[in-house]
């Protein structure tokens, strides 16, 4: 079985569109997404490092199997 992973922002999130796309490209690093509470963007682009809170993780039997909801930047 292949798990479909969806990464989205919460309605109140202040994460930029660029950082959302960056985190969506992390799907291959499933362990970090499933077991961590934050995502660091250190060394990924030329901007300063940002830390993004993972607000919630939703596991479902149907598609998509896993929904990861991003919260705000952590300072």
The set of residues, in sequence order, having a beta carbon less than 8 Å from that of 27 and lying 6+ positions away, is 5, 7, 33
pLDDT in tens, 5-43: 899 999 999 999 999 998 898 877 777 788 899 998 887
Asked if residues 70 and 9 have their Cβ atoms less than 8 Å apart, the reply is yes
Asked if residues 7 and 20 have their Cβ atoms less than 8 Å apart, the reply is yes
Q: What is the pTM of this model?
A: 0.83
Q: Where are the domains of the chain?
A: 5-74
pLDDT band at 1 (very low <50, low <70, confident <90, very high): low
pLDDT in tens, 32-71: 788 899 998 887 777 788 999 999 999 988 888 899 999 9
Pick from 14, 5, 11, 9: which is nearest to 33 by CA? Answer: 5
CA 62 to chain centre: 20
Asked if residues 74 and 53 have their Cβ atoms less than 8 Å apart, the reply is yes
């Amino acid at each position: 079985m292949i798990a479909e992973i969806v990464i989205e922002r919460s309605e109140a999130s202040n994460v930029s569109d660029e950082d959302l796309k960056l985190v969506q490209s992390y799907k291959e690093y499933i362990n970090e997404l499933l077991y961590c509470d934050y995502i660091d963007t250190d060394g990924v682009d030329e901007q300063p490092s940002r830390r993004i809170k993972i607000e919630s993780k939703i596991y479902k039997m149907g598609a998509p199997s896993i929904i990861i909801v991003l919260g705000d930047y952590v300072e």
